A = this chain, B = another copy of it.
Amino acid sequence: MPESGRRVWATGKEQMYELMKVALGEAEADLAIVNGAIVNVYTGEVVKGDTVLIKGSKIAYVGKNYGKSIGSSTQVIDASGKTLIPGFIDGHTHICCLYSISELLRYAIKGGTTTIITETSEIAFSLGYQGITEFLRAAKNQPVKIFITAPPMVTISPAAKQHALTVNELRKLFRREEVLGLGECPWAQVIEGDQRILDLITETIKAGRKLEGHSAGARGKKLQAYITLGISSCHEPTTAAETMERLRLGLAVLIREGEIRRELEAISKIKDENISLNRLVLSTDGVGASELITDGYMEFVVQKAIDLGFNPILAIQMATINVAQHFAIDDFIGGIAPGKYADIVIIPELGAIRAEYVISNGQVVAKGGQLVVQPRKHKYPKSMQNSIHLPGNFEANDFAVRVEGGRSQVKVRLIDYLTELVTREALIDMVVLNGELQPDTSNDILKVAAIERFYPSGETFVGFIRGIGLKQGAIATSGTWDCSNIIVVGASDADMAQAVNRIRQLQGGIVVCAGNKILAELSLPLGGMISTQPMETIANELYHIQQAAVNLGCTLPDIRTALAILSTPAIPYLRICEHGLFSLRVNQFVELIVD
Contact = CB atoms under 8 A, between A and B. Distances in A.
Contacts of A198: 13, 16
A240 to B, nearest CB: 13
Interface in A60-97: 60-63, 65, 67
Nearest to A60: B228
Contacts of A193: 17, 20
A19 interface: yes
Query: Is chain A's binding surface mostly helix, strand, loop or mixed?
Result: mixed
A453 interface: no
Interface string A17-37: 101110111000000000000
A7 B248 contact: no
A44 B276 contact: yes
A224 B60 contact: yes
A154 interface: no
A228 B43 contact: no
Given A208-B177, A331-B210, A220 B63 contact: yes
A229 B275 contact: no
A338 B230 CA distance: 8
Interface in A293-338: 325, 328, 330-332, 335, 337-338
A592 B276 CA distance: 57
B227 A9 contact: no
Contact of A250 (B24, B42, B65): B42
Given A24-B222, A193-B17, A221-B25, A227 B44 contact: no
A202 interface: yes
A166 interface: no
Contacts of A210: 331
Contact of A65 (B13, B59, B220): B220
A221 B65 contact: yes
A9 B23 CA distance: 39
A191 B24 contact: yes
Oligomeric state, in copies: 2
B23 A205 contact: no
Contact of A224 (B17, B63, B208, B335): B63
Contacts of A332: 230
A55 to B, nearest CB: 8
Contacts of A335: 250
A509 interface: no
B45 A275 contact: yes
A508 interface: no
A244 B40 CA distance: 12
A74 to B, nearest CB: 16
Interface string A37-54: 000101111010000000
B17 A227 contact: no
Contacts of A25: 221
A235 interface: no
B45 A248 contact: yes
Contacts of A7: 205-206
Contact of A228 (B10, B20, B222, B328): B20
A534 to B, nearest CB: 37
A249 B191 contact: no
A58 interface: yes
Contacts of A328: 328
A339 B227 contact: yes
Contacts of A228: 16, 19-20, 23, 58-61, 338-339
A231 interface: yes
Interface string A186-230: 000001010100110110011010110000000011101111111
Nearest to A69: B221
A354 interface: no
A118 interface: no
A279 B16 contact: no
Contacts of A227: 337-339
A340 interface: yes
Contacts of A11: 202
Interface in A399-455: none
A289 interface: no
Given A20-B228, A227-B339, A228-B19, A249 B331 contact: no
Contacts of A244: 43
A225 B67 CA distance: 13
11 contacts: A16-B198, A23-B228, A42-B276, A59-B228, A63-B220, A63-B221, A210-B331, A230-B331, A250-B339, A276-B278, A325-B325
Given A10-B202, A23-B224, A47-B248, 18 more contacts: A7-B205, A10-B205, A13-B198, A16-B198, A16-B202, A20-B191, A20-B193, A43-B248, A60-B224, A62-B224, A65-B221, A224-B338, A225-B338, A227-B339, A230-B331, A231-B339, A250-B330, A250-B339
